[in-house]
Amino acid sequence: MRAPTPGQLPPVPQVRRAWYVLATTDELRAGAKPLKRSLYGDPIAVWRAEDGTPAAVVDRCPHRDVPLTFGCVKGQHLQCGYHGWEFDTQGHCLRIPALIGEPDKQARRVKAHPVREQQGFVWVWGDPDTPPDTEPYSFPYADREGYLVVRQTVRAEASLHGVAENALDVPHTAFLHGGLFRNDKAERNRIRCVIERTAETAQCEYIGEPRPEGIVAKMLSPSGGTVTHFDRFHMPCVVEVEYAIGEENHIVNAAALTPVDDHVTDLYSVVALRTRIPAFLLRPFVQPVAERIFQQDAVVLQLQTASMKHWGSARYVSTEVDLLGPHILRMLNRAANDPDAEWEPYRTELEMDV
Amino acid sequence: MRAPTPGQLPPVPQVRRAWYVLATTDELRAGAKPLKRSLYGDPIAVWRAEDGTPAAVVDRCPHRDVPLTFGCVKGQHLQCGYHGWEFDTQGHCLRIPALIGEPDKQARRVKAHPVREQQGFVWVWGDPDTPPDTEPYSFPYADREGYLVVRQTVRAEASLHGVAENALDVPHTAFLHGGLFRNDKAERNRIRCVIERTAETAQCEYIGEPRPEGIVAKMLSPSGGTVTHFDRFHMPCVVEVEYAIGEENHIVNAAALTPVDDHVTDLYSVVALRTRIPAFLLRPFVQPVAERIFQQDAVVLQLQTASMKHWGSARYVSTEVDLLGPHILRMLNRAANDPDAEWEPYRTELEMDV
Amino acid sequence: MRAPTPGQLPPVPQVRRAWYVLATTDELRAGAKPLKRSLYGDPIAVWRAEDGTPAAVVDRCPHRDVPLTFGCVKGQHLQCGYHGWEFDTQGHCLRIPALIGEPDKQARRVKAHPVREQQGFVWVWGDPDTPPDTEPYSFPYADREGYLVVRQTVRAEASLHGVAENALDVPHTAFLHGGLFRNDKAERNRIRCVIERTAETAQCEYIGEPRPEGIVAKMLSPSGGTVTHFDRFHMPCVVEVEYAIGEENHIVNAAALTPVDDHVTDLYSVVALRTRIPAFLLRPFVQPVAERIFQQDAVVLQLQTASMKHWGSARYVSTEVDLLGPHILRMLNRAANDPDAEWEPYRTELEMDV
């Protein structure tokens, strides 16, 4: 571990052999300009060839370093805007204008990332040097009949770990989002938390949770009922909050997190809801409430990042009610630094006052 | 001494075992949000408990690094805005919502700085790890009857030493403030300067100085008279200019300098005046003139700082008419680096043309 | 060679023992404020004494580091705006107000750069510590009768080498400036390129080039004709494009490049034209076309610089149709790092499709 350098953000675990969402299908229509995206700070040109194939290449022409996103799509090729060099979806150099002879040589290629497109998302494999050994995450309720589905993309100035911990953390909701989910009451309810962790997933089940107060809860469950609540993290970038009240109300809020930079994270979220209230009545409320919650989180996450930058380190004194955050960090660190280390499944139970 | 690194500001002596003004009483009213201040770049939350006690703690929640100034005062406690942890004026952690059991542990505390409040200023001891062995400076004429007192807080982008030297320097006034105090005349007056320095104070007395020309002087002394003039620096952060013309006119301009950052300094100044002119007539002129002078100094200090940053060093070729600046720097360096070094009182006299 | 440091621009060859244009005569009129300029990032005060002598000194008062450009010209002297120190055109310190005794001492001087003024340009020798062993470049057609001469000064966020390569590069014109000079046609013309390089000059002659299409060409040559075309680089900072169609049309576009910073370059360009079209009709077109071309180049050069900064290096895979750029870089590197290295004249011929 590096010694703190005030003014510099602390390093984060970088898990490159994984799928990340770099664009939505909507953003990458046929004929669109190549999209300038990045992963852990490295620019990637995401583009779509004439025949519909999505592609992602390192955003740097080998000739003179100009970003390929400055250029344009020309048929099946991506063409650099400076000297007109052309590359195919695999990154091979197929044309160098003015040059007589074969254009394609190893040094003239750009590295291409594997790409998958599903459920309206363009997933890019983070490491162009190794082939993928998995397939991307599938959002479980994105296409399910009977569910109202709301998608949004937002950006947080925080590390993937900071965003994931925040998304799956219960205690902060009474303060940061006071009035929306929970409030900081003198009388609290003691509930039971069951934490289970494998190499791929960390999950917390909350048992005995009362129906929450606040407007979101009232929107969801006019009739009351028993609460089922799971928070899950799937390596290395998916958070899932599954919440049900009785049989009738079910909400699954999942998001794929993309490490744009070590300390900047995009969230591609899919909120899926099933309630007694018809979708057309519910829809106008879901988006504004989700945005308000996210904005409050974005502010605190940005302050957290700025503070870590000032001190050059994360102080991070955890207690046992930091249920998933420390597990997530351990999982990310292992995948980034020592993926073959032994890893025992883990299970624990504890109590918490909410 | 570090080798110059172009593009980086040179280091400055940091005197942490000392009192600095971090706020005025006016800024820290009961019920006010905690104030985000800093000392040598380190953020400090300055706040006031419900019973009126002023407090200052390191502005970083030990839990997740979020600045405590993002939170709010809750009775006698400062509460973090992320998870609701609560701290008292001594920095002890007295509540962790959701957690069952004792919240206060060493690792969960924030460091608290000793605080004194007097004459409308909130003084904070710079080192939270050692108890204070002195009391803060008292402005000599801030409360004196018969004096018009004007306070202002201004910020300069320069080191404490750069600001202190500038505030107590005579030769620059004919150029930077030409027309206000002095002018660059062909005919100059030769005066005598008596410099005395102890470990705590450096003083220069100017003998034989003529009544200055310019509008400030005319405002002060319509009837003329003998000039008495002292410039003083009190370790590590107070500058005092005492100036009298005859028996009737007396002005003491004192300022407490706060090293917000190594190269950013706040000045909490108190100008006290006694003249024949009634206060209600004088007051409208004092503030604008003081502001104009300060703005001119602020411009040159900022250029000086930017230049030192470019070169990565201070070139600083002093002559004997740099009367106090080099002494101030020596005093600060000793206090910062070698406070137990021997230190002989020093006295010298020389002549200067003003 | 330094290892790449992501986020830092790669170093460039700095040729300091050379003449660079730091101002135009128009900018440095008698009585003007001193001009703040810089060479490889080091600030230089360019000023004109009362008798008309142009001067250039390091922009840092030895007393307190304040830039001398904050001050003003006072007769034959440049006066610092803080304490009024005065320097002559050679950098000697001739006055320190308030000080009794001789002001000029070695430590109180500023370094002065040799200066030449010719053809409306103020040339400054880059190294204040060695006397010049050459004279500045003379623009060959700046004063020639029968030529329309258009001057302009523009800034590019790129290294001197990046700007010089771009200015003398043919293949990019069909893409970046498509429609102005050349287009990216399926049918291309095969031409011959003769490259000659000495220690001081690199030149490419293009043989067999057809009259270009596009509006610039039509403006120049309504009657058609044989094309003569030379691109030249004169060490360390002059680019020249000489172009003729038949006997009647002749254009020489020359520019002196100034390395303001390692990766910021000013171009002082002189376009000289002789055509059948009278100057008063031609002039309104030359400036806008030249500006449009330059703006397109400026965009790509800035992206190239930003990309090299991101990666911390220049990847730069050249092909044989990068005719002059690699030679220019070799010449600059030799002059910067090993000026006494042996250097054989070089000549080669090759073919290219335009």
Residue A196 has pLDDT above 80, yes or no: yes
For CA atoms A246, A247, A249, A255, the dihedral sign is positive
In a domain, C275, yes or no: yes
Note whether C163 contacts A: Cβ–Cβ < 8 A.
no
Cβ separation A314–B70 shorter than 8 A: no
Least CB-CB distance to A65: which of C6, C176, C316? C316
pLDDT at A210: 81
Contact by Cβ (8 Å): B222, B244: no
Q: Within this chain, do residues A240 and A317 fall inside the same structural domain, yes or no? A: yes
Give tens-digit pLDDT for B113-157: 999 999 999 999 999 999 999 999 999 999 999 999 999 999 999
Residue B219 has pLDDT above 70, yes or no: no
In a domain, A131, yes or no: no
Q: Within this chain, do residues A277 and A334 fall inside the same structural domain, yes or no? A: yes
In a domain, A6, yes or no: no
Element (H, E) at C52: none
Q: Which of A70, A90, A125 is the last residue of a domain?
A: A125
Cβ separation B171–C83 shorter than 8 A: yes
Cβ separation B321–C43 shorter than 8 A: no
Q: Which residues contact B194 (CB under 8 A, 6 or more apart)?
A: B204, B205, B207, B347, B348, B349
Q: Within this chain, do residues B320 and B246 fall inside the same structural domain, yes or no? A: yes
Average pLDDT, chain C: 93
Q: Which of A91, A125, A159 is the last residue of a domain?
A: A125
In a domain, B302, yes or no: yes
pLDDT at C346: 94
Residue C137 Cα to chain centre, angstroms:
11
Q: Within this chain, do residues A165 and A119 fall inside the same structural domain, yes or no? A: no
Using alpha carbons, list the distances in angstroms from residue B311 to A234, A299, B53, B270, C285. Answer: 50, 37, 45, 35, 44
CA distance A109 to A124: 19
Note whether A97 contacts C: Cβ–Cβ < 8 A.
yes
Q: Within this chain, do residues C118 and C232 fall inside the same structural domain, yes or no? A: no
Note whether A172 contacts B: Cβ–Cβ < 8 A.
yes
What does pTM read for this prediction? 0.93
- Burial of B290 (C-beta count, 10 Å sphere; 0-12/13-18/19+): middle
Q: Which residue type sits at B241?
A: V
Q: Which residues contact C346 (CB under 8 A, 6 or more apart)?
A: C195, C196, C197, C327
Residue A213 has pLDDT above 70, yes or no: no
Please compute the mean of the pLDDT values over residues C335-350 and round it to a whole number.
93
In a domain, B8, yes or no: no
Chain A residues with CB inside 8 Å of B62's CB? 315, 317
Chain C residues with CB inside 8 Å of A43's CB? 307, 310
Number of domains in chain A: 2
CATH number for the domain harbouring residue A43: 2.102.10.10
Residue count of chain A: 354
Chain B residues with CB inside 8 Å of A300's CB? 66, 70, 81-82
Percent of chain B topping pLDDT 90:
79
pLDDT at C138: 97
- Burial of C342 (C-beta count, 10 Å sphere; 0-12/13-18/19+): exposed
In a domain, C54, yes or no: yes
Best residue in A63, A83, A95 for a mutation probing chain C (most C CBs within 10 Å): A83
Give tens-digit pLDDT for C191-229: 999 999 999 999 999 999 887 666 666 666 666 678 999
Please compute the mean of the pLDDT values over residues C299-310 and round it to a whole number.
97
Residues 182-201 of C with CB under 8 A from A: 184, 188, 190
From first CA to last CA, the distance across chain A in angstroms is 35
Q: Which residues of A271-302 are buried (b: 16+ CB within 10 A; e: fewer)?
A: bbbbbebeeeebeeebeeebeebbebbbbbbb
Q: Within this chain, do residues B233 and B119 fall inside the same structural domain, yes or no? A: no
Cβ separation A65–C190 shorter than 8 A: no
Q: How far is A110 from chain C (nearest CA, A)?
A: 11
Domain span at B237: 148-353
CATH number for the domain harbouring residue A345: 3.90.380.10
Residue B85 has pLDDT above 80, yes or no: yes
In a domain, B4, yes or no: no
* Residue B312, phi-psi category: left (phi > 0), alpha (psi -120 to 50), beta (remainder): left
Q: Within this chain, do residues A168 and A121 fall inside the same structural domain, yes or no? A: no
In a domain, A139, yes or no: no
| Residue A175 β-bridge partners | none
Q: Within this chain, do residues B97 and B161 fall inside the same structural domain, yes or no? A: no
pLDDT interval class at B217 (50, 70, 90): low
Instruction: Give φ, ψ of B224 to 5 degrees.
Output: 80, -170
Tokens of B54: 């002023």
Enter the ipTM: 0.93
Cβ separation A65–C317 shorter than 8 A: no
Q: If you measure CA to CA, which chain A residue comes closest to C296?
A: A82
Cβ separation B171–C65 shorter than 8 A: no
Contact by Cβ (8 Å): C325, C172: no
Residue A160 Cα to chain centre, angstroms:
7
Tokens of B50: 């419900």
pLDDT interval class at A185 (50, 70, 90): confident
Q: For chains B and C, what is the number of CB pairs under 8 angstroms? A: 76
Q: Within this chain, do residues A118 and A163 fall inside the same structural domain, yes or no? A: no
Q: Which residue type sits at C119?
A: Q
Cβ separation A63–C320 shorter than 8 A: no
Q: How far is A35 from chain B (nearest CA, A)?
A: 34
Q: Within this chain, do residues A185 and A54 fall inside the same structural domain, yes or no? A: no
Q: How far is B11 from chain A (nearest CA, A)?
A: 14
Residues 289-318 of A with CB under 8 A from B: 299-300, 303-304, 306-308, 310-311, 314-318
Q: Within this chain, do residues A121 and A154 fall inside the same structural domain, yes or no? A: no
Q: How far is A129 from chain C (nearest CA, A)?
A: 18
3-state secondary structure of B254: strand
Beta strands in chain C (DSSP E): 19-24, 35-39, 42-48, 54-58, 72-74, 77-79, 86-87, 93-95, 112-113, 115-118, 121-125, 148-156, 190-197, 201-207, 227-234, 238-245, 249-261, 264-274, 346-353
Using alpha carbons, list the distances in angstroms from residue A342 to A199, A251, A264, A339. Answer: 9, 35, 30, 9
Q: In angstroms, how far apart are the furthest CA atoms of chain C?
A: 81
| Residue C195 β-bridge partners | C204, C348
Cβ separation A311–B96 shorter than 8 A: no
pLDDT at C3: 81
pLDDT interval class at C62 (50, 70, 90): very high
Closest residue by Cα to residue B46 from B282, B209, B260, B257: B260
From first CA to last CA, the distance across chain B in angstroms is 35
Average pLDDT, chain B: 93
pLDDT at A1: 52
Least CB-CB distance to C174: which of A97, A99, A108? A97
Q: How far is A45 from chain C (nearest CA, A)?
A: 13
Least CB-CB distance to A300: which of B70, B97, B99? B70
Please compute the mean of the pLDDT values over residues B179-200 and round it to a whole number.
85
Contact by Cβ (8 Å): A56, A45: yes
Chain B residues with CB inside 8 Å of A353's CB? 97-100
Q: How far is C297 from chain B (nearest CA, A)?
A: 29
Please compute the mean of the pLDDT values over residues B74-99 and round it to a whole number.
97
Best residue in C68, C69, C74, C83 for a mutation probing chain B (most B CBs within 10 Å): C83
Q: Within this chain, do residues B201 and B317 fall inside the same structural domain, yes or no? A: yes
Q: Which residues contact C230 (CB under 8 A, 6 or more apart)?
A: C203, C204, C205, C206, C240, C241, C242, C243
Neighbours of chain B (3+ CB pairs under 8 A): A, C
Neighbours of chain C (3+ CB pairs under 8 A): A, B
Cβ separation B43–A6 shorter than 8 A: no
Q: How many CA atoms lie within 13 A of C326 on its CB side?
A: 13
Q: Which of B60, B90, B125 is the last residue of a domain?
A: B125
**Crossing angle between the packed helical segments A160-167 and A279-311, to the nearest 10 degrees:** 130
